Amino acid sequence: GKSTLGKVLEELSMNSDLSLNVISLDDFYYPAKELDKAMYGNPWNVPRGLPGAHSLSDMQSTLDRFVNTGELIAPIFDKSLRNGYGDREGILESQPKVLVIEGWFLGCTPVTDNKTVCDLVNDDIQLNLSNNEREYRLIIQDNLCNYLPIWKMISKLWHIRAEEFQFTSIWKQQQENNMLIDKGSSLSGSELESFVRMISSAIPQKSLQEINADITININLNRR
C-alpha cells in the first residue's frame, strides 16, 4: 500500500498549492549489472530488496540537492524489466515543496548485538532458518548501518504497520501478481516464493515492527 498511498498524495497535491513528489527507496537500486553483483550469493537468491542493493551515494546526492536547492533529480526503477529482476529506466526531474520517500525497511535501524539477532531468529513464527540465512542476517545488519545517515535526513517518519507481520508476505505476492497483469512481467513461481521467504527472514521482524516513527498507522490484512 505504500506506493498506492504515494500516488494518492501526489494526486491530492495537484488540487492544492502544495506541490509534492513521492519517490521510493527502490528507485535507488543499483543499475542492473551492479545490482546483480551486490545481490550475488544471498541465500534466498533474490535479485533485489535487501539492504545493500541500493546506491546510497546516489540517494545522498539526490537528497542533498533537494534540501539545498529545492531541485529533485532522482532515478526511476522499473521492477518489471528483465523478467521481474528490474532495472533503472529514466529520471524524475521536479521542484516539489514536499518530498516523500517510501520503502519497506525505511527507518529500520540495525541490532547492535549479534547475539540479539540470533535470539530474534524465529520471532513470532517458526522460520527454521538455515545456517546460511543466519549468517547473511548478520551481513544485512552491517549493511543497515550504511543507511543511518539517510534516515537522519528524514524530518518526519510514518510507519504503516501490519497488525500481523505475515501480512507483508501476502501483500508482496499480490503486488507481483498485479504487476504481471499490468506490465506482463514479474517475479513468479520459485523466485517469488524465495522473495517472500526473504521478507520474512532477512531482518528480525521485531526490528521492522518497532520502528521509532513519529506516526504509526496499524492496518489489517485488507489494508484497513
Treating both helix axes as pointing N-terminal to C-terminal, what angle do 189-201 and 167-183 enclose, rounded to 10 degrees? 150
The mean per-residue pLDDT over the stretch 89-105 comes to 95
Give the contacts of 167 (CB within 8 A, at least 6 positions apart). Answer: 220, 221
Mean pLDDT of 38-56: 95
Q: What percent of the chain has pLDDT over 70?
A: 91
Gap between the Cα atoms of 68 and 76, Å rounded: 21
- pLDDT tens per residue, range 163-190: 888 787 787 777 777 766 777 766 667 7
pLDDT of residue 166: 78
pTM for the full predicted model? 0.85
pLDDT tens digits for 203-224? 888 888 889 999 999 999 998 9
Which pLDDT score, from 0 to 100, does residue 78 have? 93
Higher pLDDT, 177 or 2: 2
Between these two residues, 114 and 70, which has the higher pLDDT value? Answer: 70
Q: Residue 54 pLDDT more than 90?
A: yes
